[in-house]
Each structure stands twice: as C-alpha cells, then as structure tokens.
A and B are shown apart, each in its own frame.
Chain A
Amino acid sequence: MWLTRPLSERSTLLFLAVLGVVMALVVACNLWLPRGHALHVSTYTVTLLGKYLCYALLAVAVDLVWGYLGILSLGHGAFFALGGYAMGMYLMRQIGDRGVYGDPQLPDFMVFLNWDSLPWYWQGFDMAWFAFLMVLLAPGLLALVFGFLAFRSRVTGVYLSIITQALTFALMLAFFRNEMGFGGNNGLTDFKELMGFDLTAHATRLGLFIASGVALALGYVLCRAIVVSKLGRVCIAVRDAEARTRFLGYRVERYQLFVFMVSAMLAGVAGALYVPQVGIINPSEFSPLFSIEIVVWVALGGRATLFGAVIGALVVNYAKSVFTGVMPEAWLFALGALFVLVTVMLPNGIAGLLRRRRGDAEQVPTSTTTTTEAST
C-alpha cells in the first residue's frame, strides 16, 4: 500500500515519535501535574499548542505544493479559511436556540440583519458528517476549478503566484460583504459545542489539541507518501523542468492538479481544527498577507523538507506569541529581523542549518542562476 510506505522510513518514524512523545508529555503535564507545579502545562498553553499544530499542518500543505511542485501559492489562506468556515457554519448551527435572540434556525447575525430564512448554502450544516465533508470538499473544489483553469493554461511562476493572491483577495472582499450570509467582518463566533462537547471544557480543549496532533501526523504521512512515491519524483521533475517532464510523456497538469487539491484539502482540515480552538473565523484569514506569512514559515523552516515547514510554523508562531506579550511595541522589529536574517544567512532555512551541521558533504547547485550561468 503506497500510503504506508513512509512508515518504513526512519525519518518519518522519528517525526511521529517526537510528535507523539511531546503531545503525551503535554497532556500528562496538563492532567496530572497540579496547578502551580513548575512543569504544569495550563489549558491555555494546550490550546495555544493546538493552534500551532493547525498552523504546522497548513505549512506542510504549502510545502507540498511549493517545495515539491514548485507552485508558490500566495493564496493558501483561502483554503484554510474555507475549511474554517465550513467548520464555523457547523458550529453556528450547533448553537441552535442558545443564541441571544433564541432563534432555533437562524444564527444571531442573520436575525440581526433581518434574514427571514436560512440561505440554501447553509442547509445541511447542522449535520456533522456533511459539515466535515464540506471541510474537504469546499477547498478541494475551489482548488479543482482554479487549478484546472490555471494549469491547463500553463500559468506558471510569478503569474501563478499573483493570481492565487488575487483569488484569496477576491474571496476576502466577498466574505466581507454582509450580503454573502457569512457574517461579514464579524465572521462566525460565539460557538458553544462541537458534537455535543462543550467547547469551553478542558477535556474538549485537550481533545482538540490531540485531534490537531493526529491530523498533523496523518497529513505528514500522507505528504511523505506522495513525496517518496514515483509521483513525488514526477513532482520534483515538474518543479525543476516542467517542459522536460512533458516531453517524457507525463500530463503535467494532472499531477499539478492532484497535488494542489490534496494540499488544499489538508489546508482545509487545518482550518477546520483551528476554528473551534480560537473560537472565531472571519474574513481576515483570507488576507493575502496571512498567506504570505505561511510561505514565510515554510521558507524559514526549510523548503521541500516537510518537517522544515513544521519547524518554521512552530518557531514563528511561538515567537509571535511570546514577543507580542513580552515586547508588545517592538516585536515586529524582532520578527522582521528574523525573516531577513534567516533568508540571508540560511538559504535552506532551519532545516538547512541542521543539515549543514550534520556535515552533509554533497553540495549541489540549488538555484537556477547557477545553472543558467553555467550554460551560457
């Protein structure tokens, strides 16, 4: 079975083991150490870590298309947000008549803006299975349509990046519109429970944290499985010499579309797990700057390594959490400097640094210029 192939890799097993151990530690320290103990992990921290794990999964999704397929998507936030909205809509319906107006059907913001009935696209979201399906389908379909058009027309490089940016920007503006029926700028919030579990309960928070970890593990294994298969090598071939791959007889656009869709769905799952943990989804997740930031995480961690994406997402977001509290007025300097320094000093990101310290001898040209210059 191609899916289980990574499980025989040492690196993947190690990754899973580390993830498992850390998560078990966190859970244990949260449950069994008393408050006030030096190693107690508060529920606040657990939720925070859960959020990081969602971001890490998102980063893995971006690394899959950018690192291995060479598509720099500046619009992956859109898939993340769509997954989040699908989950948010389910959570809104779960509120039922506990909203402030007590309407059993309509979410508060609809009562408030005088909608008389639920719009058609909100139908079905009261059922968990349907909502969870949409978590995958909504981003997947968007990726399918968008990717079909773009890859068929062979839009490449920066042109592709910019239209992915246009895509997420357009979606952001659309979701800001109150007529859309997604709550406008306020988005969806005030969630109560998820599949019957109270969202404010500690157990639920732990559960969501674990779910995020499991999703990250599964997503990682799936991506590894793709990467180590022959399909993964085709992807690298497409990344490095698209035309050549075509002349070898591969229908490049199908490969691109497939991987792009997988990546979009993973991003959607990350979004869906993110929403109940932070308690709000609003159009700012569609913001192009957020999507650029995701790319920065990946670059910082090390592109085309998958685990580098995980490290990057964790490091940047952890730094952000700490800095915004410790140095609220200067943290942007620190973050900006971090981005600049890592890009300039560590061309292959943190993962590259680790690799260099291990003393890998083989140095291979890593950029086109080197090759272009060599051949001219």
Chain B
Amino acid sequence: MSFLQSLADRDRVFDFLVPEDSPVDVRHGPILYLEDVTVSFDGFKAINNLNLTIDDGELRCIIGPNGAGKTTMMDIITGKTRPDTGTVWFGSRHNLLQKNEPEIARLGIGRKFQKPTVFEALSVFENLELAMAMDKSLWPTLRARLTSEVRERIDAVLQTIGLADLRARPAGILSHGQKQWLEIGMLLMQRPRLLLVDEPVAGMTEQEMERTAELLTGLAGRHSVVVVEHDMGFVRSIARTVTVLHQGSVLAEGTMDQVANDPKVIEVYLGGEEEAV
C-alpha cells in the first residue's frame, strides 16, 4: 500500500532525494524570504513584484486595504497558489514553490484562515488531535492510538486557549471567538516554525481581542508569526514591525508610528478604509 501511495504522490520522484523533515536552516538569514513574486488572475495582478523577509522569531503585522493581496500572499506561502514568477524560500534550504500544501505544513508552516475553519463535526479535542505534529501518513493514522503523552499535550493546549471545559463538544457549536482560539490552538499543536494568521480578531469583542493579543504575543519568540489584520488598534497593540501592502507590493515597512506617518500610506488609506484613520 505504501508503495502505491508513494506512486500516488505526484511531486516526489524518489523518497531518498528529499529529506522531508529536515530542520529549517536559519543560520544564514531569515526564516521566510519572498523575492520578486508576481501572480495574476485573468490579467489582474494580485501580487506585483513582492519582496518580503521575515526573521526567525519575529512577530510581523501586515496591513493593507482590501485587494492589496494579503490573502493571496498567504496562499503562495502555503502552496495553495503558484506564483507566475519569483522565489519563495523557507530558511535557506527549502524552496516552497516546489512543495505542496501538506509538505509545507510538515516543514512547520501553520496557517489560520481569515474565516475560522475548524472541523465543526469533530469535537474540540479531536480538532486538536488531528492538528498534532506526528506522522501523518496513511497507515500510522489508521492505527494511531491516543497515548497519555498525546493527551497531556492536548490538555496543555486546551488550557492555553481556554477551551478545556468545552473539550468534548463539537466545534460547530463554539462561538466565533472560540473558533478563532481553537484554530490558533490547532496551530500550536502543529509546533510550527512559522505561523501565518489571517485576521484573527475580525468580529471579536474587546475582551476576546485582548485575549487573542496575549495569545499571539506569547507565541512570538518561540515561533515566527505573521499577522494579517485590518483592525489598527489591534495591530498597534501587538506589532513591532508593520508592513503595508498596496496593489500587490510593499508600500512601506517600519514601526507602527513610522508607517502611520508615511504620506504614501496616508494617501492610500484616505479613500480606502475607515480603520486606517
């Protein structure tokens, strides 16, 4: 079966050629490196010559008006969309453009979607169980058992995201904010090197937002975190470095104050979104 399976994998020729779970090499520079990336849909350039570097352990916020290409950028990093040109490197060893989503995920890049996507039919506990970093190929999954070690890890994360009481409930009944946390919890279970977080506080109450900010800042350092967000207040509360995207490329980069005073940014945002003001 596993032989057939390896045949079924179209992106790999021979197993031994690709050291799959090799550590990310960050000795020579950043953990994520995008260069000259361009992608267009039907002639519309969603990403236009984008250059971006994220350092190991950094917490980076990315802002930009609607249609600036934030989500598309995430799609490219996680392998969902292939760019027309450009290169994307994870550490100095992994060319992400040659990998598909599961491989990228196994390298240690986790993603939280804009719309909270948890598995609604499964319990909170099971959601975390599926996300846990372990052998995710077919046979082991079929035969997997819940060891006490696994349980402990899941319990720990349940504590962190504050959903311990709801562990046995289906994820579908969680509130919007709880789903967001569950999703962050799932990212934690993956033990990623790099976390991509898309609009984590959309539709949250003040209190929920505070808690989310805590969660994310707590993550930085151990993990590199990229947050895409509209809410300026929230960004201000967590950000160290902010990158502004506009029409598919970087418009400005710096601290929140630097960026907020950049005349180009002000111009872009004036006709645009009210949050910027």
Direct contact of A and B (CB under 8 A): yes
- A-side residues, CB < 8 A to B, are 2, 144, 148, 152, 226, 229-231, 233-234, 236-237, 239-241, 243-255, 257-258, 362, 364-365, 371, 374-375
Q: Is the CB of A230 within 8 A of B129?
A: yes
Give the CA-CA distance A250 to B186 in the complex, in Å. 14
Q: Is the CB of A364 within 8 A of B138?
A: no
Q: Is the CB of B111 within 8 A of A247?
A: yes
Assess A241 versus B10: contact at CB under 8 Å? Given A230-B144, A249-B106, A250-B102: no
Name the residue on B nearest A256 (C-beta). B8
Out of B9, B101, B133, B190, name the residue touching A254 (CB < 8 Å): B9
Interface presence of B126 (CB below 8 A)? yes
Residues in B neighbouring A257, C-beta threshold 8 A: 5, 8
Q: Is the CB of B101 within 8 A of A241?
A: no
Name the residue on A nearest B5 (C-beta). A254
Give the CA-CA distance A230 to B125 in the complex, in Å. 12
Q: Is the CB of A364 within 8 A of B121?
A: yes
A-B contact count (CB 8 A): 110
Specify the main secondary structure of chain A where it touches its partner: helix
Residues in A neighbouring B116, C-beta threshold 8 A: 375
Residues in A neighbouring B212, C-beta threshold 8 A: none
Name the residue on B nearest A363 (C-beta). B173
Residues in A neighbouring B172, C-beta threshold 8 A: 364-365, 371
Out of A231, A246, A371, name the residue touching B141 (CB < 8 Å): A231
Give the CA-CA distance A362 to B144 in the complex, in Å. 28
Out of A144, A226, A240, name the residue touching B142 (CB < 8 Å): A226
Q: Is the CB of B143 within 8 A of A229?
A: yes
Residues in A neighbouring B236, C-beta threshold 8 A: none
Assess A248 versus B105: contact at CB under 8 Å? Given A233-B129, A233-B130, A243-B80: yes
Within 8 A of A (CB), among B178-216: 186, 190
Give the CA-CA distance A364 to B166 in the complex, in Å. 14
24 pairs, A vs B, C-beta closer than 8 Å: A144-B4, A231-B142, A231-B144, A233-B130, A236-B119, A236-B121, A243-B113, A246-B101, A246-B105, A247-B101, A247-B110, A248-B131, A248-B186, A248-B190, A250-B130, A251-B138, A255-B141, A364-B120, A364-B121, A365-B120, A365-B172, A371-B120, A375-B116, A375-B176
Interface presence of B78 (CB below 8 A)? yes
Out of B106, B131, B143, name the residue touching A2 (CB < 8 Å): B143
Give the CA-CA distance A250 to B8 in the complex, in Å. 14
In whole Å, how far is B138's beta carbon from the nearest beta carbon of chain A?
Answer: 5
Name the residue on B nearest A376 (C-beta). B115
Give the CA-CA distance A158 to B78 in the complex, in Å. 26
